[in-house]
Amino acid sequence: MPTNQSSVPTVLCLGEVLIDFIADAPGSLTTVLGFRKCPGGAPANVAVGVARLGVPCGFIGKVGDDQFGRFLTETLQSNGVNTQSLISTSEAPTAIAFVALSATGKPDFSFYRETCADLLLSQKELPKDWLKQTQLLHIGSVSLTREPSRQATKRAAELVSKAGAIVTFDPNLRIDLWNGGIKECRQEVLSILPFADFFLPSIEELLLLTETQNLKKGIRKVLEMGPRVICVKMGSDGVLVVKASSNGAFEEYKQAAFPVEVTDTTGAGDAFNAGLITGIVEGLPLKKAVKQGNAVAALVITRKGAMTALPTRPQLEKFLDTF
């Protein structure tokens, strides 16, 4: 799938791209024996999802100057993602993660990224012209776990926000990656919210970040920090959407999940993000964009893998035609 490497992409995704070694059979990481190499990393999954749906998308990040890094760069390019701002470095290796799946398809992760290439992305390496001209930037919290990628992520969000474009933020929490634990994680994630237009957490992430067991209180707390829309991912219960209005009121509704047979839930949230983001930049009404996000997620969880399971536009349209 060719892409124009010189033009400014409609959507930019910034953060980690890595190798997921996914277990061949259900079980725990202590019992499984075989693994299959798959491209992964939440922002990279979203980038591929957006590109496969036909929207120009670019990726901002770093990989190691190694075989895994070259494989990931080629994978993004083959899926139509603009890799002009994906930097190769000899300073650190490409990150990897091992993923085991339970009998119900729920993933268990073990990350090997204490010193890895994507965390070395610096502010000076950001494509500022892209960030000032794109329509939407998507980020997560893994790039906030260490410097210099932490400040690079914040600066990118700031540049896009100041340019009047859209910032979408999926916390994608991995608490074990934070040296300071949940306290540091909460502080850094919440510091991004003033720049975020769409906040895309799971229900567990929202409650953890806002230090409450009351969903409505957590939502209100987040909306007071800056985002105008929250999409709370609730698995088989669908997505709860809450939109803030100019008069201080809130519009709330739930978009049901599509009934499909689950094989692997790895990357379901990223798939939702890709469908939603595509709808946003194409000007769909919010409800239709959210429904599209749910449809992309539904298609992904029927297959193994995250990036490799993402649908094309014809596949998405065929699926939606059946409902």
Q: What is the DSSP string of 132-198?
A: HH-SEEEE-SGGGSSTTHHHHHHHHHHHHHHTT-EEEE-----GGG-TTHHHHHHHHHHHHGGG-SE
Residue 231 lies in a domain: yes
Quote the CA–CA distance of 91 and 72 in Å, as a whole number: 17
Query: Residue 305: what pLDDT?
Result: 75
The predicted model gives 270-296 an average pLDDT of 98
The whole domain housing 284 covers 11-17+42-92+118-321
**In a 3-state reduction of DSSP, which class is residue 54?**
coil
What percent of the chain clears pLDDT 90, i.e. is strictly above it?
83
Write the Ramachandran bin of 214: left for phi over 0, alpha for psi from -120 to 50, otherwise beta. beta
| Res. 6 pLDDT band, cuts 50 70 90 | low
| Res. 264 pLDDT band, cuts 50 70 90 | confident
Residue 102 lies in a domain: no
Query: Residue 250: what pLDDT?
Result: 86
What is the total count of domains within the chain?
Answer: 1
Query: Residue 186: what pLDDT?
Result: 97
| Res. 245 pLDDT band, cuts 50 70 90 | confident
| Res. 254 pLDDT band, cuts 50 70 90 | very high
Residue 2 lies in a domain: no
Phi, psi values for residue 153, rounded to 5°: -65, -45
Residue 59 lies in a domain: yes
Residue 308 has pLDDT above 90, yes or no: no
Quote the CA–CA distance of 314 and 28 in Å, as a whole number: 36
Query: Residue 5: what pLDDT?
Result: 63
Residue 25 lies in a domain: no
CATH code of 69's domain: 3.40.1190.20
The predicted model gives 105-128 an average pLDDT of 91
Query: Residue 1: what pLDDT?
Result: 54
The per-residue pLDDT for range 52-94, each reduced to its tens digit, is: 999 999 999 999 999 999 999 999 999 999 999 999 999 999 9
Query: Residue 3: what pLDDT?
Result: 56
Residue 166 has pLDDT above 80, yes or no: yes
| Res. 106 pLDDT band, cuts 50 70 90 | confident
Residue 99 lies in a domain: no
Mean of all residue pLDDT scores within the chain: 94
Cβ proximity of 62 and 121 under 8 Å: yes
The model's pTM is 0.95
The predicted model gives 103-109 an average pLDDT of 75
Query: Residue 114: what pLDDT?
Result: 83
Fill in the amino acid letter for 55.
Answer: V
Query: Residue 109: what pLDDT?
Result: 85
The per-residue pLDDT for range 195-231, each reduced to its tens digit, is: 999 999 999 999 999 999 999 999 999 999 999 999 9
Which helix or strand (DSSP H or E) is residue 289 part of? helix 286-300
